[in-house]
Structure 1
Amino acid sequence: MRLALLGTAAVLALGTGSATAQDVTLRLAHWLPPQHAVPQTGLAPWMDSITEASDGTIQFEVFPAQQLGSAPDHYDMTRDGIADIGYVNPGYTAGRFPIYELIGVPFLAKDGANAAKAIHEWYQGDYAEREMGDVYFCLVNPHEPGRFHGKSPIRVPADVDGLSVRPAHSTMARFVNSLGGSSVQVPAPEAREALARGTADAVTFPYEAMRIFNIAEETKFHNDMPLYLSAQVLLFNKARYEGMTDAQKTVIDDHCTPEWSKRFSEGWSEYDMGVREDILNNPDHTVYTPTEDEVGLWREAAVPILEAWKEDARAAGVDPDTVLEELRAALEANDTLYE
């Protein structure tokens, strides 16, 4: 509601003639429900800070819940100017961003907020220009490490064999398929329906999705092993960004930094940890912590996924070992490299 009022207020201000030629209202599109932690704890403070820093000359109109287009279309919507700013999951478009897809490989990062800063530091510059050069790269927003949640227990990799799983992104889809499961590709807001209809037996999600997407109503068994990240990005339409005044662009630049990526992601991480505690204490749910040997089985099962990513990276014209080393160095520098 607060975000909707922000957008409405901006439109009303323009309509009454109070705006100047330098005032802009940016259309921001995302695919999450308005009550999700990202709009509430990430987007809202970020927009408020920009509006304040720009002396009110930059306002926002927000279009949540796939109002302007489906979740996988948000990159193209932003590039083409349907939205001025888009909240994009690169993993929803398999093969399009092969360097960035490294983020989804299991057992790389152990938290969300610190990983946000690390990923931003690693990807900004040459990699972002190479893969997302037709937009203005702003922020990285990963969730806390995702897990398996199912209608039946998933303790070891062999338990995925024969299951239909809604994966977080293309890399996790590859992982599910490698374990003998089949992937059900639907955006996050449609996952509960897939479970309810029996199209999916399990999902890979962070804990917060158990509440915000009502996944807990359908999945009662949870593997508590932190497994992978899904790292969304916030992008600007390049022409819209370049059309702003120098002062306004400076405000935007100051809000598109590794430090802001971390700040943007912290509230989502805190929310996720709170939902995890609720699930752990809920007698209707069974949470399983794999043994050290079982974690070893998962790690071994994930090796081919990293190797497959390396092949994709080579095909994209980059040295995968260099890219991986750079990401691991950034994660280690931010105290979030998976041990």
Structure 2
Amino acid sequence: MKQITKLLAGAAVATMVSFGAHAQEVTLTVHHFLGPKAPAQSKMIEPWAKKIEEESNGRIKFEIFPSMSLGGNPPELYRQVRDGVADIVWTLPGYTPGVFPRLEVFELPGVHLGDARATNLAMWDLRDEYAEDLTDIHPLAVHVHAGQAIHLTSKEVRTVDDVKGLKLRTPTRTGSWVIESWGAEPVGMPVPALPQAMSLGVVDGGLVPFEVVPPLKLAELISYSVEGEGVNSRFGTSTFLFAMNKDRYESLPDDLKEIIDRNSGRDFAAEIGDVFNGVEEVGKRMVNEGKGQVVQITAAEKATFDDASASVVDRWIEEANSNGIDGAKLVEDAKAAVQSHTK
């Protein structure tokens, strides 16, 4: 009888432990560098978090900390998620040069063709080719924005000769290489610092998508925003990483992991692309309704920029090869994948 009682008691404890694990509730912190009204939070992170909260019946909750409100500066975000300071971050791999050598390929001239959805799907297709870059974190998404226009405080530019000598902001080293190839001077800084830099004359302008014009109030500072026409209308793009601390992810019960996994795959990458494509027109409208104007240069004028920056690809391939990466193959694969998804 005593043995039966012990067995029943043991079964009861096991059931309680099992139920407790299954019913575990977690709150995950999300840290990023833009404000709460920026599309990255309002149209990407918040809907994603809400969907997961609903699918988990409230067992997963999120606390979102915009504008670096957990401390530090934007280049520290990757370290913060890697080390567990934040559970999840949204950041640019380009803020930590050398850590993501393969992901850089999507920023190179001629790879991104102006459609964030197409490039995001290409990034998903090629995920095995850059997986080694992401071994220290659990990736939720890698993506790009719609592409960079050249936003200027005073001078209108139409060809590459017009930008020579100008100081232009960029967030990444590949962006710096492009600006140098044009004969301009790159100034590296996270995008939240751009408005002050433009207003004080530290830079003559910057390479950013129209998406950030509203949250950063850049329309008050821009005289000209320059882009091309049709496919390949932009001047490259930046890659972004939405990532979770690896140990934090592994600590979740399997059913909660499955919910996060289900909302972090190919469809999510496509949705992010649609978000960033969709917010560009708002920024354009704000420029035109403000003190500035959007200038669309001709294909021939755009080609002067593209021809000048072609050397950047060769430079990147040479460096990749020196690090044991087949740079030429990665560029070829990235271009083909993007083109396959571009309408």
Query: Normalised by the shorter chain, which TM-score bucket?
Result: 0.7 to 0.9
Which of 31, 44, 48 is matched with 1:29 structurally? 31
1:57 and 2:59 correspond: yes
Q: CA deviation at 1:19?
A: 11
Per-residue Cα deviation, 1:36-70 (whole angstroms, up to 9, x for no partner): 01111111111111111222211111111011221
SS in 1 for 2:188: coil
- The residue number in structure 2 matching 1:195 is 198
1:323 and 2:330 correspond: yes
1:112 and 2:120 correspond: no
Structure-2 separation of matches of 1:190 and 1:279: 19
- The residue number in structure 2 matching 1:15 is none
Structure-2 separation of matches of 1:64 and 1:77: 14
Larger radius of gyration: 2
Structure-2 separation of matches of 1:283 and 1:238: 44
Structure-2 separation of matches of 1:67 and 1:117: 31
Is contact 2:168-2:184 (8 Å) kept?
yes
Q: CA deviation at 1:106?
A: 2.3
- The residue number in structure 1 matching 2:311 is 304
Which of 131, 134, 150 is matched with 1:132 structurally? 134
- The residue number in structure 1 matching 2:258 is 250
Which of 226, 237, 255 is matched with 2:245 structurally? 237
- The residue number in structure 1 matching 2:273 is 265
Per-residue Cα deviation, 1:99-157 (whole angstroms, up to 9, x for no partner): 111111123222112322221222x23412x1120101111232111111112112111
Structure-1 separation of matches of 2:282 and 2:110: 22
Is contact 2:220-2:291 (8 Å) kept?
no
Is contact 1:42-1:265 (8 Å) kept?
no
1:96 and 2:104 correspond: no
Is contact 1:168-1:205 (8 Å) kept?
no
- The residue number in structure 2 matching 1:185 is 188
Is contact 2:94-2:173 (8 Å) kept?
yes
Structure-2 separation of matches of 1:245 and 1:293: 56
Relative to structure 1, the CA distance from residue 200 to residue 160 in structure 2 (aligned partners, 3 Å threshold; closer, same or farther) is: same
Is contact 1:104-1:169 (8 Å) kept?
no
Is contact 1:98-1:312 (8 Å) kept?
no
1:176 and 2:179 correspond: yes
Relative to structure 1, the CA distance from residue 148 to residue 271 in structure 2 (aligned partners, 3 Å threshold; closer, same or farther) is: same
Unpaired segments ≥5 residues, structure 2 = 1-19, 229-233
Structure-1 separation of matches of 2:286 and 2:199: 22
Is contact 2:146-2:277 (8 Å) kept?
yes
- The residue number in structure 1 matching 2:236 is 228
Structure-2 separation of matches of 1:235 and 1:189: 20
Is contact 2:31-2:88 (8 Å) kept?
yes
* Amino acid paired to 1:314: N
Is contact 1:313-1:320 (8 Å) kept?
yes
Structure-1 separation of matches of 2:328 and 2:177: 20
TM-score (norm 2): 0.87
Relative to structure 1, the CA distance from residue 54 to residue 324 in structure 2 (aligned partners, 3 Å threshold; closer, same or farther) is: same
Structure-1 separation of matches of 2:242 and 2:337: 20
Identity of aligned residues (%): 28
TM-score (norm 1): 0.88
Is contact 2:222-2:291 (8 Å) kept?
no
Is contact 1:118-1:327 (8 Å) kept?
yes
1:290 and 2:294 correspond: no
Q: CA deviation at 1:33?
A: 0.3
1:165 and 2:172 correspond: no
Per-residue Cα deviation, 1:228-261 (whole angstroms, up to 9, x for no partner): 1112110110000000011111111111112101
SS in 1 for 2:244: strand
- The residue number in structure 2 matching 1:82 is 85
Structure-1 separation of matches of 2:202 and 2:291: 23
SS in 1 for 2:279: helix
1:314 and 2:321 correspond: yes
- The residue number in structure 2 matching 1:72 is 75
Unpaired segments ≥5 residues, structure 1 = 1-17
